[in-house]
């Protein structure tokens, strides 16, 4: 498992990915900890109108993205990278649910390629083709049970979750360690407080100002359990 951290994003809306230049992701790119390149799918369309979609076989509403430009674009970024193995992430509401566990797996991939579909999605033979190739691993991923207009925002979600796991991206690695403990126990975070001690008649819980570290740890764990139970009651999962 190597750690080259090269990401390619293929989309018909490259501007949708501009958040990668901001904050945590922007700093990681600036520091050379990750190399992200965004490709305009339309540049790989060879037909006269540079179209990337067509009507669905079998009928139905909307348009389906044609396999030709996708094949050319994915081959091009794979050839340019030269890694022996590429992980192709196909965003789709029908994919495996994205999770912290999956983010921790993806950070170890040498070359991630994100295929952002639009319309009714991408001709399924693109997934089938790359699944059959020994130089590719294909993962169909969904970020949650709601319908987006395309894969771009889902890609941003995954990029942010993966990039902050790259060693050196977070200033304070303790926050990663603390958080992974709670994730292991499948607990959500405890509530946080900062100054002032009194704000709009609301006081910070006394125990947090006691200096009693054991009592603070116990209170935080208790709060995390209560919050976790509340969420589970809401979602029924």
Q: Which is nearer to ligand JF8, 39 or 92 (CB)?
A: 92
- Which of 60, 62, 84, 144 touches ligand JF8 (CB under 6 A)? 144
Q: How far is the CB of 82 from ligand JF8 (least distance, A)?
A: 28
- Burial label for 160, CB within 10 Å (0-12, 13-18, 19+), is middle
The Cα 116–Cα 12 span in angstroms is: 8
Q: Which stretch binds ligand JF8 (CB under 6 A): 1-9, 115-123, 177-185, 221-229?
A: 115-123
Give exposure, 42-64, as e/b (b: 16+ Cβ within 10 Å): eebbeeeeeebbeeeeeeeeebb
CB 28 within 8 A of CB 166: yes
What are 35's two structure tokens? Answer: 């190399």
Q: Which stretch binds ligand JF8 (CB under 6 A): 113-121, 165-173, 189-197, 200-208?
A: 113-121
Whether the bond into 58 is cis, omega within 30 of 0? no
Binding flag, residue 151, ligand JF8 (CB under 6 A): yes
- Which of 29, 68, 93, 221 touches ligand JF8 (CB under 6 A)? 93
At 104, which helix (H) or strand (E)? Answer: helix 100-106
In this structure, is the dihedral angle defined by the CA atoms of residues 11, 13, 16 and 20, taken in order, positive or negative? Answer: positive
Q: Which is nearer to ligand JF8, 74 or 154 (CB)?
A: 154
Q: Which is nearer to ligand JF8, 98 or 220 (CB)?
A: 98
The Cα 94–Cα 155 span in angstroms is: 15
Number of residues that bind ligand JF8 (CB under 6 A): 16
Q: Which is nearer to ligand JF8, 96 or 206 (CB)?
A: 96
Q: Which stretch binds ligand JF8 (CB under 6 A): 21-29, 54-62, 150-158, 221-229?
A: 150-158
Binding flag, residue 113, ligand JF8 (CB under 6 A): no
Residues engaged in binding ligand JF8 (CB under 6 A): 91-93, 117-118, 121, 141-144, 146-148, 150-151, 154
């Amino acid at each position: 498992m190597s750690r080259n951290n090269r990401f390619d994003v293929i989309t018909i809306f490259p501007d949708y990915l501009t958040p990668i230049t901001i904050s945590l992701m922007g700093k990681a790119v600036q520091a050379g900890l990750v190399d992200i390149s965004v490709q305009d799918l339309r540049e790989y369309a060879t037909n006269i109108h540079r179209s990337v979609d067509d009507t669905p076989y079998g009928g139905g509403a909307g348009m389906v993205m044609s396999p030709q430009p996708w094949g050319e674009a994915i081959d091009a970024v794979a050839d340019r990278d030269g890694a022996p193995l590429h992980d192709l992430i196909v965003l789709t509401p029908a994919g495996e649910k994205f999770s912290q566990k999956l983010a921790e797996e993806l950070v170890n991939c040498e070359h991630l390629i994100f295929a952002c579909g639009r319309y009714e999605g991408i001709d399924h033979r693109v997934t089938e083709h790359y699944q059959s190739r020994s130089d590719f691993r294909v993962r169909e991923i969904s970020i949650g049970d709601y319908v987006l207009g395309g894969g771009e925002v889902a890609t941003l979600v995954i990029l942010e979750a993966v990039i902050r796991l790259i060693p050196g991206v977070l200033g304070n690695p303790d926050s990663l360690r603390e958080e992974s403990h709670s994730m292991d126990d499948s607990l959500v975070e405890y509530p946080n407080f900062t100054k002032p001690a009194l704000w709009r008649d609301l006081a910070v819980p006394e125990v947090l100002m006691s200096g009693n570290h054991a009592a603070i740890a116990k209170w935080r764990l208790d709060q995390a359990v209560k919050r976790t139970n509340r969420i589970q009651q809401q979602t029924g999962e």
